Amino acid sequence: MTSGPGVGIVVVSHSRALARAALALASEMLHGRRVRIEIAAGLDETTFGTDAVQVKHAIEKVDGPDGVVVLMDLGSAVLSAELALDLLEDPAIRERVILSSAPIVEGLVVAAVAASGGASRSEVATEARNALLGKAAHLSVPDQDAAEVASTPVGDEVVGVFAVANRHGLHARPAARLVGEVSGLDAAVTLTNLTTGTGPVPAASLSRVATLGAQEGHRVEVRASGPQAQEAVEHVLALAARSFDETTETPVLPELAPTAGPVAASPGIAIGPVRRLDVAPVEVDDREVGDPAGEWRRLVEAVAEVRRDIEHLRALTVREVGEAEAAIFDAHLSLLADAEMLADVKERIGAGLGAFTAWTASMADIERQWSELPDSYLRERAADVRAVGDQVRRVLAGAAAQQTGGEGVLVARDLTPAQTAGLDTSSVRGIVLAAGSALSHAAILARSRDIPLVVSAGRDVLTVPEGTPIVIDGSTGEIHVDPQPAVVDDYRRRAADLAERRTRELALAGEPATTLDGTRILVAANLGSLADARAARAGGADEAGLVRTEFLFLGRSEAPGVEEQEQEYVAIGEALGGRRVTLRSLDVGGDKPLPYLPVVREDNPFLGLRGLRLALARPALLHDQLVAVCRAARRTPTSLMFPMVSTAAELRAARAALDAAAGPSGVPGDLRVGMMVEVPAAALKIESFLPLLDFVSIGTNDLTQYALAAERGNPAVAGLADALDPAVLQLIDRVCQASRGRVDVAVCGEVAADTAAVALLVGLGVRELSVGPHAVPRVKERVRALDLEQCQVVAKQALSLESADEVREFAHAALGC
């Protein structure tokens, strides 16, 4: 905590950019005089919102003997500031804080000047509140429109009516959108369902808005009072006209689209009972209750922790899955900021209940109200209340966030990458997803963790009762529900054979992968962390064929500095025992946004500003990374490759940026430079790139989805997105033919770990296969069984086949894979 003479000031705003701009403006008025000012603004660099824990830390940082004045912009900023006071453990600090109703920009300027002159906290607060007097005096002769507004009594209400156009009415997602719209305005807004007569309820309370039971076609009255009443009603009506920014043609939680599944996604056999990813009930004895202030503090801290977890999960889901899937978390966040709900919990605690019991009782009431709504779809949204309620309960109880019902095969509709990464591999033997894709990030994580996975299994798999025996083969996509004993015995033998083969592969993992005729094939590893590098070395990887450097940039509020990047790159090289490390320059944008690198929203981000395109548009960010790469290359064997290259001009610009970053000493001589071939155009005109390159690496995941117009995360077209489609193989062949004798060709997409594909890729001319760390021993063993001449013949014939299925059947018959 920082303390000292003079009043400290805290700025609480929904927007971090707004708070920083206001602070910069106020600083200009101080002429070098020092005032302790902290901002607690936004949930991150671009996400609007306020966080009580942030406010608490800011107050503690600027507190001193003269106290603190807190300025807030609007809506939940006031709630967050009030909660922050409850979180302060030292009552002396709480007594020294004044929450000011002053306007945030004018108020901050005046408050900062007053504080710099030695004013007391009450004088600073008063000056801030009076900040608008000068503007009001200057505008004492209003124009006609202003006079009409001013003459309207403050107590008058503005009223509007809208019809609900959303297919499932004002369920959690559109209701959260509405709540978020009115919470940021200085107005008291209520809603009444004119069709059913339900209401009025406060529009700023998600828990109460849901009880309206507003279904499609219902007419809802909006009634507002206060300084921004007109704006509030207009905002709500405009939002309703846009169906609360929800697509009305499809349900919010749509039925699963027809799939081409089941689809094999991660090799291996799993046998066991069906398990669900459920949260077990939590019961806590709340008889030993502390004082109300302490219990309320416990509750507020638990809510703040869950809110941070949900915000993190939302950001991960946006990045790895998509904005539409992540939007449900907005409703969860709105519930956690619901002033009426929190007031009810606080009242129960004040009546003598413990935090856990008070929270549980309040959530039960809200869930009951939602479950009694007449519309069946809206009734199901009570699950949102239960999910949020249980998260807070588990934090209060110190219980685990999620768990399966025991050891077995996890069956779910779909998994987010965060959920997949958090699975306990000691109990989850395998996974079956009703939706999903073999090229999704969740599937990539499952493969990296060596968990057998079948995706796109269809909706029927979700009806299989918990505990039912199930067998899955992640190599073939086969699923057997409640199988006969003979089937189980057969798969147990297959699993034993796989385990024996795995032991044999691991024993030879450190040896080179050489075909029967003596051709060396490098088997490298795709890495996303230092832990991956250690696993790759243990698995016998020859080098790192792909390091996803964006893992350094994601999940933080600002970009890593040059020194941090350099240290991480060198550490990965050291973890690999000095083997060569191939760093992919930052590959974000569009579908993988960075909070501190805002880009314009794109209708089709896969075809938008991403990869090298985005890096060239943000030269400072690219420069820092290339400086770090050059430094690392002087300390450990390093290669660099640029992603999403479409034109030779882009590659020349990237090479020029590299030269500039290298400085007077020039690009390190051992630094090899390459590019990823992910765009069909790049494969077709590969000759124009070769003079600028030392190697090329084919990213088959993106190349496949672009060539076949099949998004890799869409279960409806999961069967089309197969890298063994002859069209994709022809593009790979094009690159290999043009590069032969000039530069090395690698494949770093998921197909490199496909046993059927390995022989075909080697036959086409690929001489490096980069796979997940766990797949390295298996791929090396596969290479050792190949005859290069036979692979070349089979690969050539595969180019003229009709489909990926035909290619697989042909390769299996010709090469036994």
Q: Give pLDDT tens digits for 510-543.
A: 999 999 999 999 999 998 878 788 889 989 999 9
Average pLDDT, the chain: 81
Question: For residues 232 and 185, is the Cβ–Cβ distance under 8 A?
Answer: yes
Please check whether residue 147 lies inside any domain of the structure.
no
Please check whether residue 3 lies inside any domain of the structure.
no
Give the mean model confidence (pLDDT) for residues 102-127: 85
Final residue before a domain boundary, out of 138, 167, 185: 138
Return the structure tokens found at 471: 């067998």
pLDDT value, residue 399: 65
What does the pLDDT look like over 269-310, one tens digit per residue?
Answer: 999 999 987 545 566 656 567 788 888 888 888 888 787 777
Query: Could you tell me the sign of the dihedral formed by the alpha carbons of 418, 421, 425, 429, in that order?
Result: positive
- Report the alpha-carbon angle 56-386-457, nearest 5: 120
Please check whether residue 619 lies inside any domain of the structure.
yes
Residue 312 a catalytic site member: no
| Dihedral class, residue 671 (left if φ above 0, else alpha if ψ from -120 to 50, else beta) | beta
Q: Are residues 491 and 548 in the same domain?
A: no
Return the structure tokens found at 12: 């609480």
Please check whether residue 253 lies inside any domain of the structure.
no
Q: 364-373, 378-387, 392-401, 688-697: which has the minimum mean pLDDT?
A: 378-387
Measured between its terminal Cα atoms, the distance across the chain in Å is: 65
pLDDT confidence tier of residue 254, bands split at 50, 70 and 90: very low
Query: Measuring CA to CA, how many Å separate 431 from each of 91, 359, 387, 589?
Result: 51, 34, 22, 30
Q: 426 burial class (0-12, 13-18, 19+ CB within 10 angstroms)?
A: exposed
pLDDT confidence tier of residue 102, bands split at 50, 70 and 90: confident
Three-state secondary structure call for residue 483? coil
Q: 204-218, 488-502, 568-582, 673-687: which has the minimum mean pLDDT?
A: 204-218
pLDDT value, residue 772: 86
Q: Are residues 76 and 49 in the same domain?
A: yes
Q: 26-30, 66-70, 192-196, 438-442: which has the minimum mean pLDDT?
A: 438-442
Q: Are residues 492 and 520 in the same domain?
A: no
pLDDT value, residue 310: 73
Cβ neighbors of 383 (< 8 A, separation 6 or more) are: none
CA distance 349 to 362: 11
* R_g (Cα) of the chain, nearest Å: 30
Q: Are residues 667 and 630 in the same domain?
A: yes
**Which CATH number covers residue 298?**
1.10.274.10
**What DSSP string describes 214-260?**
--TT-EEEEEEESTTHHHHHHHHHHHHHTGGG--SSS-SSPPPPP-S
Residue 719 has pLDDT above 90, yes or no: no
pLDDT confidence tier of residue 1, bands split at 50, 70 and 90: very low
Please check whether residue 220 lies inside any domain of the structure.
yes
What does the pLDDT look like over 127-155, one tens digit per residue?
Answer: 887 766 656 544 544 333 333 323 233 34
Query: Measuring CA to CA, how many Å separate 656 from each of 20, 459, 634, 639?
Result: 35, 52, 19, 16
Q: Are residues 421 and 390 in the same domain?
A: no
pLDDT value, residue 718: 63
- Specify the higher pLDDT residue, 583 or 88: 583
Cβ neighbors of 805 (< 8 A, separation 6 or more) are: none
- Beta strands across the sheet bearing 37-41: 37-41, 8-13, 68-72, 97-100
Whole-prediction pTM:
0.53
Q: What percent of the chain has pLDDT over 70?
A: 79
Measuring CA to CA, which residue among 476, 478, 470 is closest to residue 411?
Answer: 470
Residue 395 exposure: Cα atoms within 13 Å on the Cβ side: 20
Q: Are residues 523 and 444 in the same domain?
A: no
Count helices and strands in the chain by DSSP H and E runs: 33, 25
Give the mean model confidence (pLDDT) for residues 85-90: 81
pLDDT confidence tier of residue 367, bands split at 50, 70 and 90: confident
- Specify the higher pLDDT residue, 201 or 719: 201
Question: For residues 638 and 569, is the Cβ–Cβ distance under 8 A?
Answer: yes
pLDDT confidence tier of residue 119, bands split at 50, 70 and 90: confident
**Which CATH number covers residue 738?**
3.20.20.60
pLDDT confidence tier of residue 340, bands split at 50, 70 and 90: confident
Give the mean model confidence (pLDDT) for residues 371-398: 67
Q: Are residues 413 and 468 in the same domain?
A: yes
CA distance 48 to 51: 10
Query: Could you tell me the sign of the dihedral formed by the alpha carbons of 569, 571, 573, 576, in that order?
Result: negative
Q: 27-31, 465-469, 591-595: which has the minimum mean pLDDT?
A: 591-595
Q: Which residues face 526 on adjacent strands?
A: 546
Alpha helices for 88-168 (secondary structure H): 91-95, 104-116, 121-129, 133-138, 144-151
Q: Are residues 518 and 591 in the same domain?
A: yes
Three-state secondary structure call for residue 62? helix
**What DSSP string describes 418-458?**
HHHHT--TTTEEEEEESS--TTSHHHHHHHHTT--EEE---
With residue 695 as reference, give the H or E element that holds it. Answer: strand 695-698
pLDDT confidence tier of residue 728, bands split at 50, 70 and 90: very high
With residue 347 as reference, give the H or E element that holds it. Answer: helix 339-350
Query: Could you tell me the sign of the dihedral formed by the alpha carbons of 800, 804, 809, 813, in that order?
Result: positive
Please check whether residue 256 lies inside any domain of the structure.
no
Name residue 366's amino acid.
I
Q: Are residues 108 and 200 in the same domain?
A: no
Residue 763 has pLDDT above 90, yes or no: yes
Name residue 283's amino acid.
E
- Identified catalytic residue from 14, 168, 332, 441: 441
**Structural domain of residue 390, as residue ranges?**
292-397
Q: Are residues 469 and 589 in the same domain?
A: no
**Which CATH number covers residue 182?**
3.30.1340.10
Residue 748 a catalytic site member: yes
Q: What percent of the chain has pLDDT over 90?
A: 34
Cβ neighbors of 376 (< 8 A, separation 6 or more) are: none
pLDDT value, residue 553: 81
Final residue before a domain boundary, out of 71, 105, 138: 138
Q: Are residues 420 and 525 in the same domain?
A: no
Cβ neighbors of 185 (< 8 A, separation 6 or more) are: 74, 75, 228, 231, 232, 235
- Identified catalytic residue from 748, 774, 791, 817: 748
The torsion angle over the Cα atoms of residues 612, 614, 619 and 622, rounded to 10 degrees, is: -50
Final residue before a domain boundary, out of 365, 397, 429: 397
CA distance 788 to 765: 10
CA distance 626 to 641: 11
Please check whether residue 428 lies inside any domain of the structure.
yes
Residue 563 has pLDDT above 90, yes or no: yes
Q: Are residues 635 and 526 in the same domain?
A: yes
**Which CATH number covers residue 464?**
3.50.30.10
Return the structure tokens found at 106: 């004018």
Return the structure tokens found at 581: 């490390």
Residue 256 has pLDDT above 60, yes or no: no
**What DSSP string describes 640-687?**
EEESS---HHHHHHHHHHHHHHH-TT-S-TT-EEEEEE-SHHHHHTGG
- Specify the higher pLDDT residue, 268 or 133: 268
**Which CATH number covers residue 73?**
3.40.50.510
Q: What is the bridge-based pairing of β-strands 158-163 and 188-193? A: unpaired
Give the mean model confidence (pLDDT) for residues 322-349: 70
Question: For residues 115 and 123, is the Cβ–Cβ distance under 8 A?
Answer: no
How many angstroms from the chain centroid is the CA of residue 254?
A: 21
Question: For residues 19 and 53, is the Cβ–Cβ distance under 8 A?
Answer: no
Measuring CA to CA, which residue among 298, 267, 556, 583 is closest to residue 438?
Answer: 267
pLDDT confidence tier of residue 696, bands split at 50, 70 and 90: very high
What does the pLDDT look like over 598-622, one tens digit per residue?
Answer: 666 666 667 877 889 988 988 999 9
- Beta strands across the sheet bearing 263-266: 263-266, 453-455, 428-433, 408-412, 269-275, 469-473, 478-481
pLDDT value, residue 253: 32
Measuring CA to CA, which residue among 359, 344, 382 is closest to residue 298?
Answer: 359
Residue 771 has pLDDT above 70, yes or no: yes
- Specify the higher pLDDT residue, 420 or 521: 521
Measuring CA to CA, which residue among 794, 774, 781 is closest to residue 733?
Answer: 794
What does the pLDDT look like over 38-55, one tens digit per residue?
Answer: 999 887 666 667 778 888
Number of domains in the chain: 5
- Report the alpha-carbon angle 453-457-460, nearest 5: 135
Please check whether residue 665 lies inside any domain of the structure.
yes
Residue 252 has pLDDT above 60, yes or no: no
- Report the alpha-carbon angle 54-59-63, nearest 5: 155
Question: For residues 696 and 674, is the Cβ–Cβ distance under 8 A?
Answer: yes
**What DSSP string describes 255-323?**
PPPP-S--EEEE--EEEEEEE-EE---------S---HHHHHHHHHHHHHHHHHHHHHHHHHHHHHT-H
Measuring CA to CA, which residue among 135, 121, 51, 52 is closest to residue 86?
Answer: 52
Question: For residues 642 and 654, is the Cβ–Cβ distance under 8 A?
Answer: yes
Query: Measuring CA to CA, how many Å separate 318 from each of 48, 330, 495, 591?
Result: 16, 12, 37, 8
